[in-house]
Amino acid sequence: MAIRTKSQDRVVAKYVARASVAQPEYIQGINDAGNAWEQNASAANETYKTAVIQAANAGRYSQGIREAGNSKWQSNALQKGPARFVEGVNLGQGEYASQIAKVLTTIQGVTLPARGPKGSPQNFQRIQPIGEALRRAFGKAGGTGTR
């Protein structure tokens, strides 16, 4: 005997209706988490790594990209992204200022070697001390290692 389900339209309508009034519960869930989020997420690091490696080895990342296709990606990015981009930049301004200050201070502490003639390899090598200083300071070139 086949399993009876609600219609697709009914399931989607219920999903949208419930989600549209769920914002207070969403906020409450975040507030109720306390330190549990950090503790649990940190404790799950090995599980996360294992799952990502398994997914990568199985080709699921590229499979998902192929299944979605460029048109779905582009449509979703254009419909959702522009407003969220500006909002995200505005909300993240303080964190960005804090992190970029560390990068700029590191760069300002570098003494560059003398310039060479135009187009000389010596000029290209002038950037190397900046990259090395950033890597020493943050563990990866250009990044602070925090989010």
pLDDT tens, position by position, for the chain (147 residues)? Answer: 888 888 899 989 999 999 989 999 999 999 999 889 999 999 999 999 999 999 999 999 999 999 999 999 999 999 999 999 999 999 999 999 999 999 999 999 999 999 999 999 999 999 999 999 999 999 864 455 555
Containing domain of residue 49, as a range?
38-91
The reported pLDDT for the residue numbered 7 is 87
What pLDDT does residue 55 have? 97
Residue with tokens 């005997």: 1
Sign (positive or negative) of CA dihedral 65, 70, 74, 76 = negative
Q: Is residue 144 part of a domain?
A: no
Is 133 a member of any domain? no
The tally of domains found in the chain comes to 1
- One DSSP character per residue, 43-108 reads HTHHHHHHHHHHHHHTTHHHHHHHHHHHHHHHHHHHHHHHHHHHHHHHHHHHHHHHHHHHHHHHHH
Residue 9 domain flag: no
- Give residue 145's pLDDT: 53
The answer as to whether 51 is a domain residue is yes
33/30 Cα distance (integer angstroms): 5
pTM for the predicted model, two decimal places: 0.63
Residue 103 domain-assigned (yes or no):
no
- Asked, for residue 145, whether it belongs to a domain, the answer is no
